[in-house]
Amino acid sequence: MSEDRRPSGDGDCGGNAAPYVLGALTPAENDAFLQHMSTCAVCREEVAALETVASSLPASVPQFSAPRQIKRGVMAEVRADARRARRPGATRPAMAAGRRGRSALVPAALALAVIALLAIVIVGSGGGASGTRVIRAEVSAPGASGTVRVSGGHAEITLAGMPQPHSGRVYELWTKRAGGPEPTDALFTVSSRGEATVGVPGGVAGVRVVMVTSEPLGGSRRPSGAPLVLAQLG
């Protein structure tokens, strides 16, 4: 892959380094600029220089004490996650349902991207214990595998042999009902052996597909790439 050395101010690069570090690009522009940076050393250097300035901006705001109820809410979930991770058979990190579901709807156009992603097909499912279904997911990573265990309206996905997310990325779990993929608060990585067990936040009533993508830290509101794991629940 050749490196582009054109300066970013000449129009070829779109002058997007400054709006990028300020968070002022649209999601589509942001994705395109990230792709562009992978081949443009000039933009990478400019972003590195401007990013440090942008990251100093929070210091300029009036400082307040964080209300105590935030900590109570955060630590309740953190300790619950930690307890779940200590259960026999669990792997770290095991993610729990988020504090609240996300309600953002994914634009219909994005569903097209997901259709393309459905090139990953479901390879099978099997029954389990009474009231429990175990569904095998298709996983794109060579040598990796995944299953979804559905019981009582709740589901848990277990992965093995997954690669670590790339630097600055995290795995995100999505559900798909009648419309496009809906983000969940389940952001996770895998253990050194590529394992993770992740609860599907909010239950799986009406959920047809559960899938996993690689997203920037903090997660995304819509998939930024093809699903790495996909399981058809019904």
Partner 1 sequence: MLGPLRSVTGRSDAGLRDLADEELMQLVRRGNASAFEVVYDRHADAAFSLAYRMCAQRALAEDVVQEGFLALWRSGARYDRNRGSVRTWILGIVHNRAIDALRRRAVRDRGRVNDEGIEERMAAPDRTDLEVARRDEAREVRDALRALPDEQSRVIELAYFGGLTHVQIAAMLDIPVGTIKGRMRLGLAKMRMTLGDPAEVVQ
Site residues (CB under 8 A) for partner 1?
Answer: 9, 14-19, 21-26, 29, 49-50, 52-67, 69-71, 73-75, 77-79, 81-82, 85-86, 92-93, 95, 98-99, 104, 164-165, 167-170, 185-189, 216-219, 221
Q: What torsion do the CA atoms of 92, 96, 98, 101 make, to the nearest 10 degrees?
A: 130
| Residue number with CB closer to partner 1 (63 or 130) | 63
What is the nearest approach in angstroms of partner 1 to the Cβ of residue 208? 24
What is the nearest approach in angstroms of partner 1 to the Cβ of residue 232? 25
What is the nearest approach in angstroms of partner 1 to the Cβ of residue 3? 21
What is the nearest approach in angstroms of partner 1 to the Cβ of residue 121? 29
Element (DSSP H or E) covering residue 196: strand 196-199
| Residue number with CB closer to partner 1 (53 or 112) | 53
| Residue number with CB closer to partner 1 (66 or 121) | 66
Q: Amino acid identity, residue 105?
A: L
Strands 132-139 and 229-232: antiparallel
CA 174 to the chain's CA centroid: 8
| Residue number with CB closer to partner 1 (135 or 190) | 190
Quick one: 149 exposed, middle or buried, by C-beta within 10 A (0-12, 13-18, 19+)?
middle
Q: Do 209 and 176 meet the contact criterion of CB atoms below 8 Å apart? A: yes
Q: Do 39 and 65 meet the contact criterion of CB atoms below 8 Å apart? A: no
